[in-house]
Amino acid sequence: MIREPAAMTRPVVLVSGATSGIGRATALAFARQGARLMLGGRDAARGEAVVAACRAEGAEATFLAGDLAEAGTATALVDAAIACWGRLDIAFNNAGWQEPQGSLVDRDLAVLDRVFAINLRSVAEAMQAQIRVMRQRDGGRAGGGVIVNDASVSGVRNPYPGFAIYAASKAALLSLTRSLAIEHAPRGIRINAVSPGRIETPMMAGAGVADYATIAATLPARRMGRPEDVAAAVLWLASDAAGFVIGQNLCVDGGFLAG
């Protein structure tokens, strides 16, 4: 059977939350490999800037704006990839939101609903749409594809008071990742998570837990992570080199969880 070699050398890659931080760095890393990119995010102007940067690397790229807190947005991103290229090879479900620091006890639980809508429900919806497409590859005879979810070390162990909801959402995402990984591995769909530690991005700057130098001093690596550190892990998980890696959580944390 012909396995579309030309397409596979230029995989169709979906990245949500591609307008900044880890998502932007990962989109650019895939672009350098010649991927065809469907990028999602909220801000159209910033999205188009990332598209231009990807095209400058020689890649094809398209951006779709949408709020993942709203049902249907995650599915629309998958539909757009299919409309553009007729297939989806790799999905990086990266977009996420962290509540402003504060105790759950003093919160309006609408905050919990929003965090879970973005960090869990939208990824569940995304995986539903992605797997439906991936399992139909080659007319349903072969299946195949890769999904990487962006969780967090906070989903494993949360050192910072005031982010209980975010940590719970990421713990749930890790569980969802493992469950769907074992369900769909027999069809050649590999699903894993990456868990960033303390990475220098707009989200980290907005969290206000401490200054970067103070955080870096607590890490075995003695430096903050960079978005490119996480992008490299995502590209490896998406590659054939990780072909026997299923349902795992790859922590990119400068040694944080090991300590």
* Residues between 91 and 130 with contacts to ligand NAD, criterion CB under 6 A: 94-97, 118
19 contacts ligand NAD (rule: CB under 6 A): yes
Residue type, 244: F
Annotated active-site residue in 166, 189, 199, 251: 166
CB of 4 to ligand NAD, least distance (A): 30
Query: What DSSP string describes 190-219?
Result: EEEEEEE-SB-SHHHHHH-SS-HHHHHHHS
**Token digits for 25?**
């760095």
Within 13 A of 8's CA, how many CA atoms are on the CB side? 11
Q: Is 212 a catalytic residue?
A: no
In the complex with ligand NAD, the residue whose CB is nearer, 11 or 197, is 197
For the chain, percent helix, then strand, then coil, each to nearest 5? 50, 15, 35
150 binds ligand NAD (CB under 6 A): yes
Chain positions 38 to 57 lying near ligand NAD, rule: CB under 6 A, are 41-42
- Shortest separation between residue 119's beta carbon and ligand NAD, angstroms: 7
DSSP β-ladder status, 90-93 and 12-15: parallel
Residues classed as catalytic: 166
Residues that bind ligand NAD (CB under 6 A): 17, 19-23, 41-42, 67-69, 94-97, 118, 150, 152, 196, 198-199, 201-204
